[in-house]
Amino acid sequence: MSPSDASLRNLGDAVLRQGGTGLAYAAFAMLLARLLPPPLAGLLQPELPLAVVLLLRLGKRVWPALALVALWLAWREPGAQAGDALLRAASGMGAALLGAGLLRQRRLPFFQLADVLVFLFGVAALGGLLAALGQVFALLPGHAHRLPALGLAGLQAWLGDMVLSLTLVPILLLLSQPDVGRPSAAAARWRESAMVALPTLALALLVCCGLDGRGGYYAMLPYLFIMPLLWLAFRGQPLLAHLLALAVAAAALAGVRLGHGALAIDGGGHSLLNVALLALAQSVTLLVFGALLEERRLVESRLLQANQSLEAKVGERTSQLAESEARLRLMADAAPFPLAMNRLSGGELIYANTRAEELFGARLRPELALRVQDFYVDPAEREQVSQALRVGGKVLDREVKLKDAQGREFWALISCSMVRSDKVWYVINGINDISERKRLEQSLQDANAALRRHVGEIEVLQQGLREQALRDPLTGLFNRRHLDEILPRVLAHMLALHRDVAVLMVDADHFKRVNDTYGHRCGDLVLTALGAYLSDHFRCGDIVCRYGGEEFFVLLPGASLEAAHAKAQQLCETVRRMPIEALGHTLSLTLSIGLALSPLHGEDAESVVLAADEALYQAKQQGRDRVCIASPLQSLLS
């Protein structure tokens, strides 16, 4: 092939690449714009996430095609002027180039927390702000006298572009890296993931499109879908987790457009803001959790490699020591270790075996006098060894730093003994090079430091798990386990301060009828509403726990009997008049409350709980919907 034919072929490949990229880019932007609500479609730049990923994967060589498509998309907007279209396209391309530049030096898709932070604050927040500024400046001529409306439009554009980037860029990156996004897993794991993902998606459609969201009673329900998303990420399915998060956000958006669903509060901007916040919370949680999970796996892998390497080195060192032990058996004949002999006075060397000569890189010759002190790095250390010999007659296994004839420094383990011959004192020196052992010790110290850091991280995670173990999953209140732990401590502390502690045993009257009539799901919602009201009704220092079933336990440190009784009476009256909305039904409840006081009814947890429980039984026996004080105080107060 001639050079001209090769050039034409390269030019054709470049044109096809640019054209194909531009067509895919335009189709993606137009499809996404169709799916967005009309008020937002004209404000956002839906093509921004794909532009960032294309610039990352294909390089900067595709930016001309992306820029032309962005300009064409901006020109297509109704009433767009040439300057406005150019400004919007330039801001979008600038945001895409900025995002691709920030992510190019990062490990993708976001294996470290630092990568996630760069993506959140650099690509999503800063890139979305740059894209939104282009839209604001394009709208400025028509909103010159309506600056608050212009500011609101800019804020909506920034939030929308940021949510699009947070939601779509991770998915596109995972799709472009199949070895990361879709790890090879057994069929059982895929079935397990499907058993989680499909019911979650069905529930999301029901919650986000089927419930009546007016009043905002169900606005928090969609956030519960973050838990199965985290489970999928933990099980090594990041792509499936992000796709499911996108599906949940899409269901919420569809519900808002249809006027139904947990987030369709008012049919206006507040509902769209709720959808954006839901998508933002899901994406940020998945990104941060995924990065922390990958960092933990990386630390575990490095620790395992370090342990294996250390074991290999220790095994090698053990083998060397075994060989040294074998050589010691032949020392009397062959002296298979560095051995040297010198005069105590003056330090002149008179003998060195072959191993010693090899170790120090020098040979004894009559014309060249060598002294022991010439091979010590620190002369003071040599004097210390000499003094120890004069006092004790020998030095055993002392670590010193020596140097050879070429000046190479190394650690050595020496053992010295004094012998006398012809009224002259000599010193026999056994030398062992321990440089490798010193290096291994340093490696072991580094590995131990890494292990301590890892243990610290595990302890932090365990603390979070302990906190979750103390909460009731339905109502969010403390559970009975936490009550059993905290009640004895509170009673003992307040008893030492000579202060009273009031306890309330609260029971929802005839609650079984709610479950039998309206179903357990409705009953759960009633318990959740009642638990939320109890949590808000009492002081911040009071402790509200779900005791079990429809029973709740309230601990009021420092409260007198009169104050606790008045609080309980007020609670009964308020709940009696309070309507509870659950699954389209308006229900009402009454409460029976048993009241006990410590130390009056007991100084230990078991006595106080028993007294409150007996008072609760009294309240039920007397017709319910009332407060009873543990005997014998009922008659005194009445």
What are φ and ψ of residue 615, in 5° steps? -65, -40
Longest dimension (CA), the chain: 117
pLDDT of 14 higher than 60:
no
Spell out the residues 6+ positions from residue 383 whose beta carbon is closer than 8 angstroms to its own.
none
Who's near 260: CB < 8 A, 6+ residues apart?
209, 210, 211, 212, 213
Q: Determine the pLDDT at residue 522.
A: 92
Q: Give the bridge partners for 138, in sequence order.
A: none
DSSP state of 604: S
CA distance 46 to 39: 13
pTM above 0.85, yes or no: no
6 has a pLDDT exceeding 60: no
Residue 181, pLDDT above cutoff 50: no
In the prediction, which pLDDT does 33 show?
Answer: 65
Residue 621 has pLDDT above 50, yes or no: yes
Residue pLDDT, tens place only, 588-610: 899 999 999 999 999 899 999 99
Bridge partners of 504?
554, 595
Distance of CA 408 to the CA centre of its chain: 48
**Full set of structural domains in the chain with CATH:** 16-181 (1.10.1760), 186-328 (no CATH), 331-433 (3.30.450.20), 480-637 (3.30.70.270)
Answer yes or no: are the C-beta atoms of 171 and 61 closer than 8 Å. Answer: no
pLDDT band for position 556 (cuts 50, 70, 90) = very high
Query: What pLDDT score does 267 carry?
Result: 59
- For position 326, what pLDDT does the model report? 60
Distance CA 555, CA 482 (A): 12
Residue by residue, DSSP assigns 356-383 as HHHHHT---BTTB--BGGGGBS-HHHHH
Share above pLDDT 90 across residues of the chain, in percent, rounded to a whole number: 15
The rounded distance, in Å, linking the Cα atoms of 449 and 291 is 22
Query: pLDDT at position 98, please?
Result: 78
How does residue 573 score in pLDDT terms, banded at 50, 70 and 90? very high
Helix 147-176 with 127-139: angle, nearest 10 deg: 140
* Contacts of residue 552, Cβ cutoff 8 Å, sequence gap at least 6: 477, 505, 506, 507, 530, 531, 534, 544, 545, 546
Query: In this model, does residue 637 exceed pLDDT 80?
Result: no
| Single-letter residue type at 218 | Y
Give the other-Cβ count within 10 Å of 554's Cβ.
Answer: 26
**pLDDT (0 to 100) of residue 590:** 92
Average pLDDT over residues 88-117: 75
Evaluate if residue 483 carries a pLDDT over 60.
yes
Would you place residue 55 in the very low, low, confident or very high pLDDT band (cuts 50, 70, 90)?
confident
State the chain's mean pLDDT as an integer: 79
pLDDT band at 214; cut points 50, 70, 90: confident
Residue written as token pair 């029971």: 507
Given a cut of 50, whether residue 11 has pLDDT beyond it is no
Sort 38 into a burial class: Cβ within 10 Å, 0-12 / 13-18 / 19+: exposed
pLDDT above 50 for 213: yes
DSSP string, 214-274: TTSTTTTGGGGGHHHHHHHHHTT-HHHHHHHHHHHHHHHHHHHHHT-BTT-SSSSHHHHHH
